[in-house]
Structure 1
Amino acid sequence: MKSSIRRSRRAATAVVLGSVLALTATACGDDGSGDAGGKGDEGSGKGTITFWDNNGGVRTDVWKQIIADFEKKYPDIKVKYVGVPAASVQSKYDTAIQGGGLPDVGGLGTAMLAEVAVQGAVEPLDARLSKSPLNGKLNEKFLESVKAAGGDDKTYTVPTSANNGTLWYRTDLFGAAKLDPPTTWTTFYTAADKLTDKGKNRFGYTIRGGEGSIAQALDATYGQSGITSFWNGDKTTVNDPKNVTALEKYVGLYKKDTPSADVNNDFTKMVAQWDSGSIGMLSHNLGSYADHQKALEGKFKGIPNPTLDDGTRVQVSNPVDGLALFKSSKHKAAAWKFIEFAASHEANSKWNETAGQVPANTEAAQDSWVQSSEPTKLAAEALNGASTKIVQLPYYLPDWNTISKADNEPNFQKVLLGKMSAKEFLDTLAEQLNKAQADWKKNH
């Protein structure tokens, strides 16, 4: 009920704001199409552009290096950097779309692309890309993910990087316990049990129970069940009996092989806890590599999520990060130069080496640091491996973020605490997803 109320409010707001924007655009000599913030202008190719970093604070330093390099190459263009924390970037974009003040360029991952694109705020980049030096130098799978996420097969961002689910494990603790690396789900659960000694405050695993828990739980669920598609026709497979059984086993780790405080873990708490404690394993992604290097150098490894016993790896899709050009920009030519520069070989390699993620630029992906960074190399191989099956999450659904965060993160905590069954949780999630899919198909 709360979801439908929220959708109705959003639809009503969009209608009102669309009318306001159309009137404003017409008054300014635009064509009155109602695009968020107006249609903008190519500009002179010079001047000052504004860039929103969608992971401000975490990636600020490397972006400032890239901006300095860009301004050296293009002295007639200045870049105003605005760092937006990842946790608040969606609301900041929504507010700016409704009230004005969008940047010229902004970081935008596939997980929130549909909601921004459906409001007419970002410009399709296919024509620009076809004439760009970047043409043919961007990972095709990343481009496919961007097109799928937009919902209409258009390229709304230039991809810059992809993350991958990673199982980090303490090689020193595994060695002392004479355990095999947790490369399969069988060895993963064996290690979680054997490394737990509650009396000594040692645990085999730390589970994500707070913000961001749903995608990680789905990764573990599909990874164990072996189901390779999110949809069976127009109905989701999320509550398939095999997935129910898999989720029951996964949440069974809580408090048995994990700290009880994990119920409130977001990624920062989880990573900090693993880096400073005596916990055997952590499921996160490549983004925390640098943190682990500082805290545990030489005592850990990162591998792709476990496989089934037959070697098949099933994992859910990870968001592809990218750069969007906003329709309201008055400096599109200069903004596009910045996007091209940031996605070029040298800059894309520099950014991804800092983040420890997989570069979107195919030349950058061949650089020596990728080959020497074992977690990144293994992630790249897993993403392209023949035995890896990717379950594409429905980022294109406008309600995906609401369903996978606000609506169900509290429910997942109830499952961990034993107040809701895994089946009830997945059935609730499935009902919401099926409705969202039906609504989406009705409009497409």
Structure 2
Amino acid sequence: MGIVELPPATARQLGASLDIVDPLALTKELLENSIDAGATHISILISPNAVDRILVRDNGSGISPEDFHALGRRSHTSKLETIDDLQERGIKTLGFRGQALASANSIAAITITTRTRGDAVASQLRLKHGVGGVEGMNLTSAPAGTTVRAECLFETMPIRKRYAVKESQKTLSKINELLRAYALARPDIKVSFKVLKDSKNGWDYAPSRTATLQDAAMQIFGRELLNQCNYVEMKPDSPNAGDELNVGGGIVLGLQAFLPKLGLDRTKAKAKGRFFSVNSRPIASNRGISLKFISTVKTFLSDISGGHTASGRPSIPFIQINIQCDPGRYDVNLTPLKDEILFAEEEEVVRCFEALCRTVYQQPAQEAHQSEERSRHEVDCSVMLQGVGKHPTPDSSPLGKIY
């Protein structure tokens, strides 16, 4: 067979199945679109088998009618114009490639209901499957914001569909964890998750108007777990930051973290997850710089415990780290899901995190050791004083033998 050009429909299907590999990936992309639209309330509804329906509703800015023609078309986006914008604008939005909705439109039937705050009524749009653009439109009543409904996922990919259905319970669990990651990274956004005809898998996060990371962690995980963690925050302008947060090349970092305490009680701190984010963008916990952070914490825990813990190895049932840094100092365009970060000065960023860990682990350990030494010395002195008092030396002060 000679070299031929693939039919456009085949090329779209092949590309879409790489961009969106499963229902979790589609949920993540739609969630990020809602966040980029400025939503403060996002609700997600999904069918039990994870392929019949995924619906994401938000109260964001909505889509302007003049942009309807571009919906679902590959490489159409409002988030950047040239590759040069990637470092400045791409990292300020969670999405930037203009591929997610087009890929979704190639593996599912997409209906969008949207209204901007300037529109009198909402528009319900049916996208041209696989191509993009509007196939049909109706006017309807709906609040400002956007609802995207994806139905019949992987209908033309039977193997992928069967696998997605088989893994549906794992997918629902992963979506729960995904939403927790975004709530920790964006604690001011209200999120609700429901599974049709299944109340057990639902999840809600309802923040106050001024919610912080600590508030989100408390609501999501509870006091019992957080009592087993140290919360530490180092801002670039804080007086105790010193030079530790000044990374090579003039970069200045800010760090927020929940780290496991020394002497962690594993019976009270069951595994709850590992969560990492950079400038409020959640990133994967099982690769890249996240693994280096985990390794650093384990090293400190192991060193301070003398190379062993009560359970035989350091325990990290829960860890959360958020990095704030200068825009343009990392590349997020590494994976289809945009969930990994490549820092230009990665070793310096790790060194900065090591400095944070020293303040959490080494300094308290040293202070505890010094306190123990002082207590021991005071006990020794007390014993000596008691001995002198009981057996006074003639013609001398009871304290005369103490030097």
TM-score (norm 2): 0.21
Structure (1/2) with the larger helix percentage: 1
Between Structure 1 and Structure 2, which shows a larger proportion of strand residues? 2
State the TM-score, normalized to the length of structure 1.
0.20
Query: Relative contact order (alpha carbons < 8 A, sep ≥ 6): 1 or 2 greater?
Result: 1
